Amino acid sequence: MKAKAKLQLVVLMTCLAAVHAGAQSYPTRPVTLINPYAAGGITDVAFRTIAAEAAKSLGQTILVENRTGAGGKVGANAIVAAPKDGYTAGIFNSGIGTNLPLMDPTFKMEPVRDYVPITRAIETYVVLVASPSAPYRDVKGLIDFARANPGKLDVGSAGVGTTGHLSLALLNSLAKLNLIHVPYKGETPMLTDVMGGQIPLGFISATVKPNVDAGKVIGIAVSGAQRWSVFPNLPSFQETGLNGFAASAWQGIVGPVGIPAEAVSRINRVIGTALQDAAVRKRLDELGLVVGASTPEEFVTFIRKDLELWGPIVRAANIKLD
């Protein structure tokens, strides 16, 4: 009887070991993350930092491969067309997941139908800055001035369809203003004009911090729902009374439809673990990025709500990408 019980125990342990081995079979080789944006940019630096840490718990190298072109479309199309074996995923951001589907009729991608959201990872905001000669120093002063001078106040952004452009459209909508959008080809020429007084206002990224600190431009408010650690002394628009004002540039990991569930689960876990690492968080904070990990289900819901939020704003402002 004892011999039989011992044999049964051995068989059971063997089966459990086999199950455990099967569960650990993914991944058996490096995993590639396609980045639709250029090497050396903030997205690239951030995800290479995250990938290097995530690889430690994944047990395999995570390679970041840049596939640039067409404002992110080339990389996005490569991600959704990738092999469905779990060894290729990619980086989606609000530009690809929200802005392009709403602004470009040739690009219609939806979460779940066309790609599998795996996890949110990070997000960042923009800050509204004013020329030092501006007659206002806060949101209330700006709104009062804009209402007294309808259609006479220009606001710059880094280009059509950017987070700055959307933030302006949201500000116009919520505050019932008629601020005029002036798109630039990047932030540098816009900042130069704001500092020089050629344009009174501009929405810009965290790169403007040294100029704000030096008093070369005036910080008015940040676009996130809460205060931003980059500008701890500046309020959010929502804090000043514009309820519902939240504009961010989010980024996360997605895979092609058909990617194995175990790959989704494992990638989600290792990215989430990496985002809790103190050194990773410090580096992301230096880049002006905020950690925002999620479950796959939460990421799906988030993207859908983002599309619902910005759809009416984009249509009302008639924002279209050429």
Q: What is the mean pLDDT of residues 230-252?
A: 96
Q: What is the mean pLDDT of residues 301-321?
A: 95
Per-residue confidence (pLDDT) for residue 14, from 0 to 100: 40
**Triad 167, 172, 178: Cα angle to 5°:** 130
Question: pTM of this prediction?
Answer: 0.88
**Confidence bin at 322 (pLDDT 50/70/90):** confident
pLDDT in tens, 115-124: 999 999 999 9
Share of the chain above pLDDT 70, in %: 93
Closest CA to 76 of 101, 42, 47: 101
Q: What is the mean pLDDT of residues 97-105?
A: 96
Q: Say if residue 234's pLDDT is above 80.
A: yes
End-to-end CA distance of the chain: 79
Q: In what order do the strands lie in the sheet with 290-291?
A: 62-66, 31-35, 88-93, 249-256, 115-124, 290-291
Q: What is d(CA 315, CA 102) in angstroms, rounded to the nearest whole number?
A: 8
Question: Which burial class, exposed, middle or buried, applies to 7 when counting CB atoms under 10 A from its CB (0-12, 13-18, 19+)?
Answer: exposed
Q: What is the mean pLDDT of residues 315-319?
A: 95
Per-residue confidence (pLDDT) for residue 36, from 0 to 100: 98
Closest CA to 285 of 39, 66, 45: 45
Q: What is the mean pLDDT of residues 298-319?
A: 96
In sequence order, the 6+-apart residues with CB closer than 8 A to the CB of 96 are 36, 72, 73, 75, 76, 109
Q: Say if residue 18's pLDDT is above 50.
A: no
Q: What domains can you pick out in the chain, each with its CATH number?
A: 30-123+249-317 (3.40.190.150), 127-240 (3.40.190.10)
pLDDT in tens, 253-297: 999 999 999 999 999 999 999 999 999 999 999 999 999 999 999
Q: Say if residue 24's pLDDT is above 70.
A: no
Per-residue confidence (pLDDT) for residue 208, from 0 to 100: 97
pLDDT in tens, 140-186: 999 999 999 999 999 999 999 999 999 999 999 999 999 999 999 99
pLDDT in tens, 208-217: 999 999 999 9
Q: What is d(CA 131, CA 137) in angstroms, rounded to the nearest whole number?
A: 10
Q: Are 88 and 63 in contact (CB under 8 A)?
A: no
Q: Are 275 and 109 in contact (CB under 8 A)?
A: no
Q: What is the mean pLDDT of residues 87-103?
A: 97
Q: Say if residue 29's pLDDT is above 80.
A: yes
